[in-house]
Amino acid sequence: DTGVSQDPRHKITKRGQNVTFRCDPISEHNRLYWYRQTLGQGPEFLTYFQNEAQLEKSRLLSDRFSAERPKGSFSTLEIQRTEQGDSAMYLCASSLQGWETQYFGPGTRLLVL
Amino acid sequence: GENVEQHPSTLSVQEGDSAVIKCTYSDSASNYFPWYKQELGKRPQLIIDIRSNVGEKKDQRIAVTLNKTAKHFSLHITETQPEDSAVYFCAASNGGADGLTFGKGTHLIIQP
């Protein structure tokens, strides 16, 4: 499968725990995006990388959220001290610089109890 | 920042009829407008997109129109089929680092 992949697909955690999600973009894509989608809503932009540089971070993200893309390939999104309001689908997308088309991964569904 | 409004939230049409979903955007700098289809529990999948230098684009049963002056764009699906049932999202972007701004989605139901 040469599409965007995400791991894990599902995560259940207790409030206050830390969680980390991984995204592997399409291999030649140098742009990577993270979105959050809650039930009945469209995806909301969280952050964006071009290669390894994080170029934008939405106001949606509190300081409990951090993302990395250390070698310009895969990316991780970490949520510290999870809260019930963090329960959502976390989607990753990638694109090729110069082409706006974003391709989405299957998402990681997070449930915070 | 950009704001995208999408209507209707639910659309039910008879199989074979046409469906139209409309979106408006607020940022005149937006120049890229994709449409995604999302089935329950699945990833959003791009079905068609349009750039601001084009007024209309068609791909088989799907077409998108863009009116830059009025800041609105629409998705048209003709000869609807049961497999068209899904949630459809419009989005807008200025091609920069802001990512896509999505509408709230339209639940399209195709009645047999």
Percent above pLDDT 90 for chain A: 70
Can you give the pLDDT at residue B39? 95
Would you place residue B97 in the very low, low, confident or very high pLDDT band (cuts 50, 70, 90)?
low
* pLDDT higher than threshold 90 for residue B1: no
pLDDT attached to residue A19: 98
- Asked if B95 is an interface residue toward chain A (Cβ–Cβ < 8 A), one would say yes
Please check whether residue B92 is in contact with residue B30, taking contact to mean a CB–CB distance below 8 angstroms: yes
Give the distance from residue B11's alpha carbon to the nearest chain A alpha carbon, in angstroms: 15
Give chain B's mean pLDDT: 94
Q: ∠ CA(B108), CA(A87), CA(A73), 5° rounding?
A: 90
Do the Cβ atoms of B23 and B9 come closer than 8 Å?
no
A55 neighbourhood in chain B, CB within 8 Å = 97
Quote the DSSP letter at residue B31: -
Of A99 and A54, the structure prediction assigns the larger pLDDT to A54
Q: Does the distance separating the beta carbons of A102 and B43 come in below 8 Å?
A: no
pLDDT digits (tens, 9 = 90+) for B34-77: 999 999 989 999 999 999 888 999 999 999 999 999 999 999 99
Beta strand ranges found along chain B (DSSP E) = 4-7, 10-14, 19-25, 32-38, 45-51, 56-59, 62-67, 72-77, 86-92, 101-102, 106-111
Task: Supply φ then ψ for residue A25, to 5 degrees.
Answer: -80, 175
pLDDT one-digit tens code per residue, A32-76? 999 999 998 999 999 989 888 887 777 667 889 999 998 889 999
B19's tokens: 């469906």
